[in-house]
């Protein structure tokens, strides 16, 4: 596992933070690069605490991991500084000099723009911030005094680590169906969320990547507006135990059964080489806290096989509980 991209399958909320935190602890990851912006939160349960992080990479749980935020990211300075203090990572986190800045002004535009509100944005201001960067008028991390101590060359560090055969993770955000190009437009985010874009935002060429892991959840959820094939009524989602609220915004997540046809499409576009499946224990409660594949009931194994056939890649990691280490690891 030299350089691995971890990418979301559908509309986000797949549990990428859990998978990445597990990999950090299990594989002793040397470097992790976070992409995307502040509108995506990753939830990590570790040592009895729950972390909902918008900026700090999910690998913070491994205290020897170098944490980086790539040049393609948008930095919300107060949120970044808050999370650095919360996770106690000040001495091992860096921001690329060319990462752009997202401000309260951007958030104000997001909240007041009728079209953006109709799309169900998070109101962090990511769309207006990306627009400003495209106009070449955005402030960059190198322009902000409060960030001076964190400024680094992320692409340089990442590629040097790969040259030394160190273990590197490129951490994606959201899911492919929220991609500006490949998702359910116009109900999408303001950037591409594919594995190729994760590489681009990090400054790592695709030929330098060894593994592309697509993360599926055992059922599908999304927040905001837009189509959700097979969507369940809220009361049915509650009955099944599928009802969730978003880690970053507290908004209700709409839910639907797993979509195997869509799984095939997203795996192809990501170029996935393997898959992770989270919350198998929610779909099959008898799987909770299972530590080996042999402990799973036949219906759960059949479900995983069906995902493998649809995505045409092996399911190598299976989540069986909320904790970072509640994983069945089939990679060996």
Positions marked active-site:
13, 42
Among the listed residues 21, 22, 36, 313, the one whose alpha carbon sits nearest the alpha carbon of residue 194: 36
Q: How far apart are CA 68 and CA 23, in angstroms?
A: 16
Task: For residue 35, give the DSSP letter.
Answer: -
Instruction: Please give the structure tokens belonging to residue 260.
Output: 């195997």
52 to each of 56, 63, 201, 316, how far by Cα in Å? 10, 18, 22, 25
Q: Which phi and psi angles does 94 have, rounded to 5°? A: -135, 155
Instruction: Please give the structure tokens belonging to residue 59.
Output: 């690998």
Q: How far apart are CA 123 and CA 144, in angstroms?
A: 23
Q: How far apart are CA 272 and CA 148, in angstroms?
A: 37
Grouping H, G, I as helix, E, B as strand and the rest as coil, residue 30 is coil
Q: Which phi and psi angles does 242 have, rounded to 5°? A: -100, -5
Q: Which phi and psi angles does 318 have, rounded to 5°? A: -130, 120
Among the listed residues 19, 328, 329, the one whose alpha carbon sits nearest the alpha carbon of residue 172: 19
Contact (CB, 8 A) for 11 and 224: no
Strands, E, within the chain: which ranges? 3-8, 31-34, 42-46, 49-53, 66-69, 74-75, 93-96, 100-101, 151-152, 168-171, 211-217, 219-222, 244-245, 252-257, 274-278, 315-319, 327-329
Q: How far apart are CA 123 and CA 18, in angstroms?
A: 25
- HEC letters along 101-123: ECCHHHHHHHHHCHHHHHCCCCC
């Amino acid at each position: 596992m030299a350089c691995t991209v971890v990418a979301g399958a559908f509309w986000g909320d797949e549990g990428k933070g859990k998978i990445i935190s597990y990999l950090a602890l299990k594989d002793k990851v040397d470097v992790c690069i976070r992409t995307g912006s502040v509108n995506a939160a990753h939830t990590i349960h570790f040592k009895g605490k729950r972390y909902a992080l918008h900026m700090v990479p999910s690998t913070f749980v491994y205290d020897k991991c170098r944490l980086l935020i790539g040049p393609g990211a948008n930095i919300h300075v107060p949120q970044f500084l808050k999370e650095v203090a919360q996770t106690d990572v000040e001495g091992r986190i860096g921001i690329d000099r060319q990462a752009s800045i997202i401000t309260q002004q951007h958030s104000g535009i997001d909240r007041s723009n009728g079209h953006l509100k109709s799309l169900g944005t998070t109101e962090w201001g990511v769309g207006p911030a990306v627009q400003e960067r495209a106009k070449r008028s955005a402030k960059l991390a190198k322009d902000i005094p409060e960030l001076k101590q964190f400024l680094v060359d992320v692409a340089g560090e990442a590629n040097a680590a790969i040259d030394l055969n160190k273990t590197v993770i490129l951490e994606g955000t959201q899911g492919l169906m929220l991609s500006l190009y490949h998702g359910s437009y116009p109900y999408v985010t303001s950037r591409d969320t594919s594995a190729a874009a994760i590489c681009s935002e990090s400054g790592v060429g695709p030929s330098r990547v060894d593994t592309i892991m697509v993360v599926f959840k055992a059922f599908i959820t999304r927040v905001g507006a837009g189509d959700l094939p097979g969507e369940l009524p809220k009361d049915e989602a509650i009955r099944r135990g599928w009802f969730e609220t978003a880690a970053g915004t507290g908004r209700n997540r709409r839910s639907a059964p797993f979509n195997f046809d869509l799984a095939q499409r997203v795996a192809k576009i990501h170029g996935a080489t393997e898959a992770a499946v989270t919350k198998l224990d929610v779909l099959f409660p008898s799987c909770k806290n299972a530590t080996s594949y042999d402990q799973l009931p036949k219906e759960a194994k059949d479900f995983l096989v069906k995902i493998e056939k649809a995505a045409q890649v092996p399911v190598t990691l299976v989540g069986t509980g909320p904790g970072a280490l509640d994983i069945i690891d089939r990679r060996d």
